[in-house]
Amino acid sequence: MAKITIDPITRIEGHLKIEVELEDGKVKNAWSSGTMARGFEALLKGKDPRDAPFITSRFCGVCYSVHQLASARALDAAFGANVPWGGTLLRNLVMGAQYIYDHPLHFYQLSALDYIDIMAIAKYNGKDKDLLAVKDKIVGLVTAKDTYPLTPRYEPDAFSVNDPDIVIMAVKHYIDALKMHLAARNMGAIWGGRTPHYQNIVVGGVTSYPDINQVARFRTMLDEQAKFINEVYIPDVLLFGTGPLLPLAKAGIGGGHYNYLSYGDFQLDAEGKKLVFPAGVITGLNPANIKVDPVDTNKITESVKHAWYKENKPVHPYNGEQVFNLDKKGAYSFVKAPRYEGKPMEVGPLARMLVAKNPTLLDLVGKGVKPGAVARHAARAIETKLVVDACYKWCDDLLAAMTKPGFKIHDTEHWEPPSSGMGAGFSEPPRGALGHWIKVKDKKIANYQCVVPSTWNASPRCENGVRGQYEEALIGAPVPDPKNPINVVRVIRSFDPCLACAVHIIDPKTNEIRKFIIE
């Protein structure tokens, strides 16, 4: 039985090692290891709770706003703060900007090279001047042997798109997407003051009082992004998913446990009756009859059985610990294993769009796209449009609210920490369900725990030896050539992993990545 180790997995965020065992050209078993530890949760202890949104934002250079938001919401709950509608709208707009820069970046910069044979560009015979410039650029780089960032890459396979007209267009859009990304990061800075790591989200709301010019600026930038998302990104994803990649989609590669969790997020009205993403849990998906149960966050536990932490039974995040045991037998990751009612869950765009029973996604499923790697890309594109549309509404709502007397962005009554209390903050960042849990004692942080999207998806086995979602999603993936495990990275990258977030906790003494043996 051949065993392959890919360490690190490239074109993701953070440090992830994947090991797979192959039998008859397919993945028979898999292990997902977060190979870096950091220690954020431990260093939060004893700090003023109001520092937490700013410190947890530093988990990650991609999804900073999301931790700031979940943290502020945990404080809202612990302090008893009521966020006014103006504060909610401004929090939503910053998160909208996050989706707009994050999802297209994942498709073009991080994933597209898994699906195209880039050298097909050399066969482009069209007359389009822009595309000929792309051809000259790429062929020039390859001739000069200067192929970064297009390499390292895996060899194209039977599923790779090699039609020169499609490939050259995709690469042109890869370059366009970089420019759009820069512009979208600046959208959040209008409200957040800077990027990355905004300054405006605090307990009780936000600190940045909006003016009409800022809303107009955000809207103008939104118009430009909406045009790219609607006319380039979504058509590209759907073209790939329903055209050349349909055989890959129909094979259902990258399915996993078929359990999905969404906490729900982004109010469309002041009462919170309508959300962009509804909350729900799906256990053992039946695409023909999707059953969605309500979420009860008391049912969440984290197991450390196979993670490099001091032995402990699975506990709810309020009671989680951060004590390393780097010599633990059977441990192979710094990622803990979150479970819902003891079960592993997939979180993220596919989970959200299934929980929402989104008609565009279900239409694709009706065309034979099975919930797996390709469906994850489709769900990501579909929900980006939902967020863009919501951003327009939030701009309108903000302008309407700003002109009314009594407009507020912050609950100034609940700024001081309680002498004791606890609270949880939930959100739906691009990669999935995020929770922060805080306990306050003597006005200081007594315990702080985060279970982030990539903790769910990248989790190792739990107490019962049940594989995490990346691990399960890899089972059955075809790897006909062990020297070219392209389907392994296709599956893993379809989740948009962020191990910086997932672990949020290097060996402080040695900075060494541990060598380990999987039993």
Tokens of 453: 């999207």
> Taking the complex as a whole, how short is the minimal distance between the CB of residue 98 and ligand NFE, in angstroms?
8
For ligand NFE, what does the binding mask look like between residues 245 and 274, x meaning CB under 6 A?
Answer: ------------------------------
Q: Which DSSP state fits 229? A: I
Can residue 53 be called a binding residue for ligand NFE (CB under 6 A)?
no
> Taking the complex as a whole, how short is the minimal distance between the CB of residue 390 and ligand NFE, in angstroms?
17
Active site residue 450: no
The shares of helix, strand and coil residues in the chain, as percent rounded to the nearest 5, are 45, 15, 40
> Taking the complex as a whole, how short is the minimal distance between the CB of residue 131 and ligand NFE, in angstroms?
33
**Closest by Cα among 206, 195, 251, 203 to 85:** 206
Q: Which DSSP state fits 9? A: -
9, 11, 12, 13: which one contacts ligand NFE (CB under 6 A)? 13
Query: Considering all CA atoms of the chain, what is the largest pairwise distance in Å, rounded to the nearest integer?
Result: 71
> Taking the complex as a whole, how short is the minimal distance between the CB of residue 302 and ligand NFE, in angstroms?
15
For residue 496, report the phi and psi dihedrals to the nearest 5 degrees: 60, 60
> Taking the complex as a whole, how short is the minimal distance between the CB of residue 261 and ligand NFE, in angstroms?
13
Size of the site for ligand NFE (CB under 6 A): 17
Active site residue 63: yes
Can residue 431 be called a binding residue for ligand NFE (CB under 6 A)?
yes
Measured between alpha carbons, how far is 364 from 362 in angstroms, rounded to an integer?
Answer: 5
Nearer to ligand NFE, 244 or 423 (CB): 423
Active site residue 501: yes
Tokens of 295: 């979420």
Which of 11, 13, 57, 333 does the annotation list as catalytic?
A: 13
For ligand NFE, what does the binding mask look like between residues 482 and 501, x meaning CB under 6 A?
Answer: ----------------x-xx
Terminus-to-terminus CA distance in the chain, angstroms?
A: 15
Residues 338-397 close enough to bind ligand NFE by CB under 6 A: none
Measured between alpha carbons, how far is 413 from 430 in angstroms, rounded to an integer?
Answer: 32
Nearer to Mg ion, 107 or 448 (CB): 448
Nearer to ligand NFE, 167 or 390 (CB): 390
392: left (phi over 0), alpha (psi -120 to 50) or beta: alpha
278, 280, 338, 429: which one contacts ligand NFE (CB under 6 A)? 429
Measured between alpha carbons, how far is 54 from 262 in angstroms, rounded to an integer?
Answer: 25
Cβ atoms of 127 and 171 within 8 Å: the answer is no
Q: Which stretch binds ligand NFE (CB under 6 A): 220-228, 234-242, 302-310, 430-438?
A: 430-438
Nearer to ligand NFE, 160 or 262 (CB): 262
For ligand NFE, what does the binding mask look like between residues 442 and 481, x meaning CB under 6 A?
Answer: ----------xxx---------------------------
Cβ atoms of 45 and 445 within 8 Å: the answer is yes
Sign of CA dihedral 243, 247, 253, 257: positive
Active site residue 431: yes
> Taking the complex as a whole, how short is the minimal distance between the CB of residue 503 and Mg ion, in angstroms?
8
Measured between alpha carbons, how far is 176 from 155 in angstroms, rounded to an integer?
Answer: 25
Can residue 22 be called a binding residue for Mg ion (CB under 5 A)?
no
Can residue 62 be called a binding residue for ligand NFE (CB under 6 A)?
yes
Q: Which stretch binds ligand NFE (CB under 6 A): 324-332, 414-422, 423-431, 464-472?
A: 423-431
Can residue 450 be called a binding residue for Mg ion (CB under 5 A)?
yes
Among ligand NFE, Mg ion, none, what does residue 501 contact (CB within 5–8 Å per kind)?
ligand NFE
> Taking the complex as a whole, how short is the minimal distance between the CB of residue 452 and ligand NFE, in angstroms?
4
- Identify residue 450 by its one-letter amino acid code: C
Active site residue 13: yes
> Does 344 sit behind a cis peptide bond, omega within 30 degrees of 0 on the bond before it?
no
Can residue 430 be called a binding residue for ligand NFE (CB under 6 A)?
yes
**Closest by Cα among 49, 48, 66 to 57:** 66
Q: Which stretch binds Mg ion (CB under 5 A): 85-93, 233-241, 379-387, 448-456?
A: 448-456
Q: At what angle do helices 129-143 and 164-192 cross, to 10 degrees?
A: 90
State the burial class of residue 284 (Cβ atoms within 10 Å of its Cβ: 0-12, 13-18, 19+).
exposed
The angle formed by the CA atoms of residues 182, 183 and 186, to the nearest 5 degrees, is 95
7: left (phi over 0), alpha (psi -120 to 50) or beta: beta
Binding site for Mg ion (CB under 5 A): 450
Binding site for ligand NFE (CB under 6 A): 13, 60, 62-63, 66-67, 429-431, 434, 452-454, 498, 500-502
Active site residues: 13, 60, 63, 67, 431, 454, 498, 501
